[in-house]
A and B are shown apart, each in its own frame.
Chain A
Amino acid sequence: MVKVSLQNRLPTTYRVAAIRQETEHVKTFTFPVSFGALPGQFIMVWLPGFDEVPMSVAMDDGTVTKMTFFDVGDLTKELFKLTKGDLVGLRGPFGTHYEWEKNQHLILVAGGYGAAPMYFVAQEAVKDGCTVDFVVGARGKEHLLYLDEIKGLKNTTLHIATDDGSVGHKGYNTEVLEKLLHENASSPRRSVMLSEVSEANEDEAHVRRSAQHDTFLSVFACGPEMMMKRISVICAERNVPCFMSLERYMKCGYGLCGNCVVDPLGIRLCTDGPVVSNDIIQSIKEFGTYHRDALGKKHNF
């Protein structure tokens, strides 16, 4: 996680190399280009003559880039109609990304299309020896994404929650998170990890133990804001380090237009985010309350 890529701020069009229908309303496009994007970063996706929107990168392996999207907005509905070989403009990558330490334990919580960037995290993190609890949530079975890919990852345990109970836990993925955090608090894995560190480096282990509940565990989340609002509270109450990907209206993607600034901090989520620590999220008063549109007007969630 050291490579910092150069931003490209002028879109270039690339031909869609492959299209995969994930669910009735979700597709993944593969582009024959790498932006050096890291998990959590976003790219501005432009359909010439139409519009341009920010999208989380679903995968960038150094050769190809994948974007996974719902047909919910004006632009994504148009993108949905494209076929292999059609041109789409891309620029980026922009913003902060998820970070972990080697051999950490991660709980990833994904709501809806958040499964795509969270899968990108999992895929990279297991390469660093991390163990992963991957909690996906959706309205029902037919809306779940990336299940086979997640199941195929080593050291990764998949947990499913659906609103209708058609598969997995009936209810919210945040309830699964609470259960996992409860188990983790008394898990042997945690004590084993701490003792390993304590042998390796006594001072470091002391700092880790005293600093927080469990620095070896991090929670990462991406999904609807009300889901993340709940996760913010859950993690803050238990003193668990947590990073989440926030979404606000964006034009430029690199800190100029000011549309993604959040109250009252004044920080720009395209440069200081989209991946933000829960400590900062806790002081974003508009989080879970309102967001602003292209004119800067407030809209309540």
Chain B
Amino acid sequence: MARVPYATIPPMNLAQELLGIRFKNPTVLASGIWGITASSWQEVARNGAGAVTTKSLWAKEHKGNPNPTIISTEHWMLNAVGVPDAGPEKAREEIGEYMKQHPAPLIANIIGLSAEEFAEIARALAPLKPDAFEVNLSTPTFLKLRGKLFAEDEKEVAEILGSVRKEIGSIPMFVKLTPNVPNIGEIANAAVRAGADGITAINTVGPGMAIDLKSRMPILAAHKGGLSGPALKPIAIRCIAEIYEATEGKVPIIGTGGVYTGLDAIELMLAGASLVGIGTAIGDRGATIFADVCREIETWCDQEGVNDIKELVGSMHAELKKRGIAGTSMKHA
């Protein structure tokens, strides 16, 4: 595409309205990173995030794992924090505090070990009117607590989402899915049938391990932990593409996995993400990553003559269709 002279380009529109929520840009603080307190969410919003997601919130106090819980190299991060949380009293206090100023949409991420527990925390938080809920069915910590992920099983997904929906009325509900299934598209459709308004994909992959050579011990205290960071991005792209195809592009996706730059964010959007979660990369690019990624998106869009970010969402699929290819597949080579 020819370079459009800068002066002729209207201001880049990074904003979108999805499920009745206005997002000033597509960047979202991913759950589990930084987001324990109102002060944190506000600081992330001040740094330009389009939305912030809380760390997973339980119906009761939940203890995490001993350290080391987070380790990384330039290629990957492993974490086995174990989803610690002080319980609903603290969650209500912090969300209430944040909603007074409400500088960016707040997505309340909730977790439990049964449909009842999910319903209980949803019930405790719904009156505070977070902009959306995100139902965590996919943390690897479920492997420790119950031997399997909820997000592996369509029936369990439906049961939990149904019970949460009863508590939150019309508040939009995202469901966070695991890449560790052979059929993420089908799971996503099951979630939508059960009342999910949007999909967050993906949670960490694995789990993985790292061993200290001299002591011959696993480094993580919990031995195994979810893998994120740069290595996760290609898996996230594939999962987002499959979800987008399965849901025919009708369901907003928060794409999460290995996003470090504006170009990473655009790639996830081409696969089908409307919004893009940022987590692990904060450790490398710092708090300014949200504004930096937005600027990088703008620069690329300026160069390519794109003036509305919505045009990017799912456009890989449109390109395939234009070329007469029905969808992503491994059969075309």
A contacts, CB < 8 Å to B? 9-13, 15, 44, 46, 48-53, 87, 89, 91, 251-252, 254-259, 261-268, 271, 292, 294-298
A268 vs B72: C-alpha distance when bound (angstroms): 18
Q: How far is the CA of A252 from the CA of B233 in the complex (A)?
A: 22
Residues of B within 8 A of A295 (CB): 61-64, 84-86, 90
Residues from 39 to 82 in B contacting A, C-beta threshold 8 Å: 39-44, 46, 55, 61-64, 66-73, 77, 81
Tell me, in angstroms, the Cα distance from A42 to B32 when the chains sit together: 24
Pick from A9, A48, A265, A297: contact of B86, CB below 8 A: A297
Q: Which of A46, A52, A256, A263 contacts B283 (CB 8 A)?
A: A256
**Closest residue to B82 on the A side, CB-wise?**
A294
**CB distance B86 to A296 under 8 Å?**
yes
B90–A266 touching, CB < 8 Å: no
Bound: A146/B85 CA distance, A: 40
Stretch in B124-132, B207-215, B291-299 with 4+ CB within 8 Å of A: B207-215
A258 touches B34 (CB 8 A): yes
Chain B residue with the shortest CB-CB distance to A261:
B40
Known contacts A89-B219, A256-B70, A258-B37: A13-B286 contact under CB 8 Å: no
Q: How far is the CA of A254 from the CA of B34 in the complex (A)?
A: 11
**Contacts from B to A (Cβ < 8 Å):** 33-44, 46, 55, 61-64, 66-73, 77, 81, 84-86, 90, 210, 212-215, 217, 219, 221, 279-280, 282-283, 286-287
- A252 and B34 contact, CB distance less than 8 A: no
Chain B hits for A261, CB < 8 A: 34, 36-37, 39-40, 43
Cβ-defined contact, A49 with B84, below 8 A:
no
Residue from B39, B55, B61, B69 with most neighbouring chain A CB atoms (10 Å): B39
List the 4 closest A-B pairs by CB distance, nearest first: A266-B43, A52-B67, A252-B70, A266-B39
> Which B residues are CB-close (under 8 A) to A268?
34
The distance from the CB of B225 to the nearest CB of chain A, in whole angstroms, is: 12
Q: Is A251 a contact partner of B81 (Cβ separation < 8 A)?
A: yes
- Find out whether the CB atom of A13 lies under 8 angstroms from the CB atom of B212: yes
Please list 5 pairs of residues, one from A and one from B, whose beta carbons are closer than 8 Å in the complex, sorted by A's number: A49-B217, A89-B215, A257-B33, A258-B40, A266-B37
Q: Which residue of A lies closest to B61 (CB)?
A: A295
B86 A51 Cβ-Cβ under 8 A: no
B222 to chain A, nearest CB (A): 12
Contact between chains at B69 and A251 (CB < 8 Å): yes
- Interchain CB contact under 8 A, B55 and A258: yes
